Amino acid sequence: MQRWNGWGETKRTYHLPLAACAYLEELLGAGVHTPDADFQTSLNAVPPSRLPDHPLFSTDDKARLLHARGQSLPDWIALRSGKIENFPDGVATPETGDDVREILGFAQDIGCSLIPYGGGTSVVGHINPLPGDRPSLTVDMRHMNQLLNLDEESRLATFSAGVTGPEIEAQLKPHGYTLGHFPQSWELSTLGGWIATRSSGQQSYRYGRIEDLFAGGTMETPLGRIQLRSLPASAAGPDLRQLILGSEGRLGVITQAEVRVRPLPEEELFFGAFFRDWESGVEAMRSLAQANAPISLARLSDPLETETTLALAGRERLITFADYGLRLLGHGVGRTLLIYGITGTHGFVSSARQEVSALLRRCGGLPVGTMIGHQWKKSRFYTPYLRNTLWDQGYALDTLETALPWRGVDAARAEVIQSIELAFQSEGSRTLVFSHLSHIYADGASLYITYIFPIGVDLEQTLHIWRTAKHAASVRIIANGGTISHQHGVGIDHLTYMKDEKGTIGLRLLEGARKALDPQGILNPGKGWPCS
Ligand SMILES: Cc1cc2nc3c(=O)[nH]c(=O)nc-3n(C[C@H](O)[C@H](O)[C@H](O)COP(=O)(O)OP(=O)(O)OC[C@H]3O[C@@H](n4cnc5c(N)ncnc54)[C@H](O)[C@@H]3O)c2cc1C
């Protein structure tokens, strides 16, 4: 069963070692756990639906509560405090593209808004119903989760768009293929959600981002069905796939997607390497990307993230022993940890391993084998469960991210971290802010910031501090020439920064497309880009 007010399966818990609790308490003070609103109380707060009964959807209170919020920090605060405020008036679970068409027709007839819903893992408010007189209907795509066709000759697989990460891999594996798209939310997020938010998987360096994997597909719009043929390349004018990618449910409901798949690799290994300081680690990341190194993943933690990762990992004796060895080799205070992956045939992995080790050594790195990389692999989808445990201990964890050219990475990182620290300080609170570079390109990298802070007794105040910090960080990101989002998308939390990113004419273009496809403005209003 899935948690209704936190992350993931109820039966899975992230156990925080005692030493890690002491580490957090020392840096942030003791966390105060405010009691959570219970499920029944929140259920009782669901107002009557404004939609008529209809065979296409349910107006059941429980379904409406479970689709009211996603995974952003404001969502967590709403769910934990019981102040959820807005609920969808109904939840549809279509099984076919024709069902989706019918639902769209119903929404057009009565003028209700439609919120396409994949796994509900949005961290920026994508799927939240907004206040207003218009009823809203959430379209949960979970029943549309099948592999429909596999063209092995072209290595193209067609799926219904509500298919989750594990369902994709389970259906491809018997045929010997993988999609290789592994966002950290992989357990719950869906193909349609990935496309609609331009998601990035952890091994994007090998497999590409979702825009590289999405070859074509079908989207139902109020104007009619858009069907995009999969083509290896095309010069026939602007690429319409790019309009669907990142459309955040504003232009239509993606019902099917054809994606580029690859044979399952013979072998995949993950490694660790240490650098004496952040600067040499960044240089190594840039060298890896610009040398087109044979890796599948590269993730460089800054010094504080490196220490926090080691502290939260537990296994104290092993860590103390490794720590001693690293210090002897000159990798003490200020060290940074690189996790990298190599994927392919046995022969390829073996030769690539040597090539990459040599490159890292030339950059001052100390490759330390597969133990740390193996641990990372084991916990890659488990780490999000830490958020539940931290909350129960009285701490909130949130993340934000950007991407920018190499020349701006260091300054942006320093300024964003400082802006978050200052925002918390100015409100008399503390925070632990750390970062990593997670996706690298020849011309730049994505910067991912995590911050942990004590939850106040007053959750309204916690929300206020979060807003202050989020805005301060967003302003620094934009001032440094970064994108407001490398992978999480826009939703509602990044809406006000879209003008800086796209410009007035860019926004008019997007609105033009929206008005052409959805003149009544029924699709996920208030998300993605401002309405004109
Ligand atoms: C713990 C955690 C880790 C995460 N890690 C990553 C990561 O590594 N990389 C990354 O990119 N993101 C990550 N995210 C963010 C999130 O998982 C992604 O944005 C993901 O792509 C959302 O997919 P979803 O199916 O849950 O979509 P939802 O959250 O349900 O919806 C997101 C948006 O897509 C639209 N949408 C969904 N399905 C359709 C459809 N069929 N047709 C049209 N529109 C649709 C919705 O209307 C909404 O606007 C993470 C989130 C969490 C909570």
The pLDDT tens digits for 2-26 are 999 999 999 999 998 888 889 899 9
**Residue 434, number of CB atoms within 10 A of its CB:** 19
| Ligand 1 geometric centre to CA of 527 (Å) | 13
CA-to-CA dists, residue 21 to 28, 32, 182, 307, 477, angstroms:
10, 13, 29, 14, 31
Q: How far apart are CA 512 and CA 516, in angstroms?
A: 6
Confidence of residue 531 (pLDDT cuts 50, 70, 90): confident
Confidence of residue 320 (pLDDT cuts 50, 70, 90): low
The pLDDT of residue 235 is 98
The pLDDT of residue 131 is 96
The pLDDT of residue 327 is 73
**Could you tell me if 4 and 66 are in contact, meaning their C-beta atoms sit under 8 angstroms apart?**
yes
| Ligand 1 geometric centre to CA of 199 (Å) | 7
The pLDDT tens digits for 157-178 are 999 999 999 999 999 999 999 9
Confidence of residue 117 (pLDDT cuts 50, 70, 90): very high
The two beta strands, 267-275 and 336-344, are antiparallel
Q: How many residues does the chain have?
A: 532
Q: How far apart are CA 148 and CA 162, in angstroms?
A: 12
Residue 158 Cβ inside 6 Å of ligand 1? The answer reads: no
Test site for ligand 1: of 104, 124, 189, most ligand atoms within 8 A of the Cβ: 189
Give, using CA atoms, the residue closest to atom 8 of ligand 1.
183
Confidence of residue 498 (pLDDT cuts 50, 70, 90): very high
Q: Is residue 495's pLDDT more than 70? A: yes
The pLDDT tens digits for 209-241 are 999 999 999 999 999 999 999 999 999 999 999
| Ligand 1 geometric centre to CA of 50 (Å) | 27
* Residues pairing with 440 in the sheet: 445
Would you give the DSSP letter of residue 340?
E
Mean local confidence (pLDDT), 394-412: 97
The pLDDT of residue 394 is 95
Test site for ligand 1: of 66, 123, 128, 197, most ligand atoms within 8 A of the Cβ: 197
The pLDDT of residue 386 is 95
The pLDDT of residue 315 is 56
Atom of ligand 1 nearest to the CA of 144: 41
The pLDDT of residue 321 is 62
Q: Is residue 451's pLDDT more than 90? A: yes
| Ligand 1 geometric centre to CA of 118 (Å) | 7
The pLDDT of residue 20 is 87
The pLDDT of residue 310 is 77
Mean local confidence (pLDDT), 199-208: 97
Joined tokens for residue 98: 């024709």
Q: How far apart are CA 40 and CA 442, in angstroms?
A: 52
User: Which of 93-102, 320-329, 492-501 has the weakest average pLDDT?
Assistant: 320-329
Residue 190 Cβ inside 6 Å of ligand 1? The answer reads: yes
Confidence of residue 314 (pLDDT cuts 50, 70, 90): low
Average predicted confidence (pLDDT) for the chain: 95
Give, using CA atoms, the residue closest to atom 37 of ligand 1.
193
Confidence of residue 331 (pLDDT cuts 50, 70, 90): confident
**DSSP reduced 3-state for 325:** helix
**DSSP reduced 3-state for 414:** helix
The pLDDT of residue 250 is 98
Q: How far apart are CA 201 and CA 266, in angstroms?
A: 20
The pLDDT of residue 313 is 65
Atom of ligand 1 nearest to the CA of 438: 8
Atom of ligand 1 nearest to the CA of 194: 21
Residue 184 Cβ inside 6 Å of ligand 1? The answer reads: yes
- The DSSP string of 126-191 is TTPPPSSSS-EEEEE-TT---EEEEETTTTEEEEETT-BHHHHHHHHGGGTEE-----TTTTT-BH
The pLDDT of residue 19 is 86
Residue 249 Cβ inside 6 Å of ligand 1? The answer reads: yes
Test site for ligand 1: of 185, 205, 253, 382, most ligand atoms within 8 A of the Cβ: 185
The two beta strands, 262-263 and 297-301, are unpaired
User: Which of 24-38, 115-129, 193-207, 509-523 has the weakest average pLDDT?
Assistant: 24-38
| Ligand 1 geometric centre to CA of 97 (Å) | 20
The pLDDT of residue 33 is 82
**DSSP reduced 3-state for 408:** helix
The pLDDT of residue 317 is 57
Question: Can you say how many angstroms the Cα of residue 136 is from the centroid of all Cα atoms in its chain?
Answer: 25
Joined tokens for residue 273: 């390497």
The pLDDT of residue 433 is 97
**Could you tell me if 110 and 53 are in contact, meaning their C-beta atoms sit under 8 angstroms apart?**
no
Provide the residue type at 297 as one letter: L
**Residue 178, number of CB atoms within 10 A of its CB:** 20
Residue 129 Cβ inside 6 Å of ligand 1? The answer reads: no
The pLDDT of residue 128 is 98
- Torsions phi, psi for 232 (to 5 deg): -65, -30
Structural domains of the chain ordered from first start: 1-8+38-264 (3.30.465.10), 267-380 (3.30.70.3450), 385-479 (3.30.300.330)
Residue 187 Cβ inside 6 Å of ligand 1? The answer reads: no
Joined tokens for residue 208: 């590409």
Q: In what order do the strands lie in the sheet with 136-140?
A: 90-92, 136-140, 113-117
Q: How far apart are CA 488 and CA 477, in angstroms?
A: 15
Atom of ligand 1 nearest to the CA of 141: 41
| Ligand 1 geometric centre to CA of 55 (Å) | 27
